[in-house]
Chain A
Amino acid sequence: MAVTNEIRRLRFEAGEMTQAELAQRIGVTRQTVNAIEQGKYSPSLEAAFRIAHVFAKPLEAVFHFHSEEGQHEKGQSR
């Protein structure tokens, strides 16, 4: 998958925040949070920022982009 994320870990670190609670805070269904965690759905930019905002983290600390060559893109300029 091209985009992976740290949402499961971040939920754990946020006191085992439930998928339902995160879903309610970002305005999607619990099933969509589950799909994002499992890599079955890449959220819109707005939803991604909302998720990062909930955990008070920068976007690149929550989501990682992997290019087709297998390189990990950290999101910062080089």
Chain B
Amino acid sequence: MAFREKTAWISLLATLGIYGFYFSALASARGNSAEFFALLIETMITFVVVFVALTIVVAILSPKDADAPADEREKLIGLKAERVAYYAVSTGAVAGMLAAFCGLSGFWIANVLFLTLVVAGLAKDAMCIVLYRAGV
């Protein structure tokens, strides 16, 4: 498995696990906006720590692959995956605008935008994995 496919798996699973926890807490609506802001910061820091730590472990296990720059196929996969993420971000931006026009609070607009970034990240990781496995 290519190093960049492994990092896509790490990102996908960490996103599902860590940010999934945040949004499940949000869905249960226990706590006020200040508490959710603190939880949001905590989950973001946890995600970065987990992602970096697991990526370092994978890089230590296959240092040659980790050092190699992305080749033409990997760059193409990255570009195609980012295009999918762009569609997700565009859709989420419209959802955020609609939330603002509908008079939702800043708290909910912020969460719509955060969800947008998370979904875009998931879409990018998933597309990367599909393209690595099925072909470009």
Contact = CB atoms under 8 A, between A and B. Distances in A.
A29 B135 contact: no
A28 B135 contact: no
Q: Which 7 A-B pairs have the closest CB atoms?
A: A40-B135, A28-B71, A31-B2, A32-B73, A41-B136, A41-B73, A32-B71
A28 B73 CA distance: 8
A40 B2 contact: no
Interface of B: 1-2, 5, 65, 68, 71-74, 132, 134-136
Interface of A is mostly: loop
A43 B72 contact: yes
A29 B134 contact: no
Contacts of B1: 31
B73 A35 contact: yes
* Residue from A29, A32, A39, A47 having most chain B Cβ neighbours under 10 A: A29
A29 B136 CA distance: 15
Contact of A40 (B5, B65, B72, B134): B134
A58 interface: no
B132 to A, nearest CB: 8
Contacts of A41: 73, 135-136
Interface string A29-48: 10110010011110110010
A75 interface: no
A72 B132 CA distance: 28
Given A40-B134, A41-B135, A29 B74 contact: yes
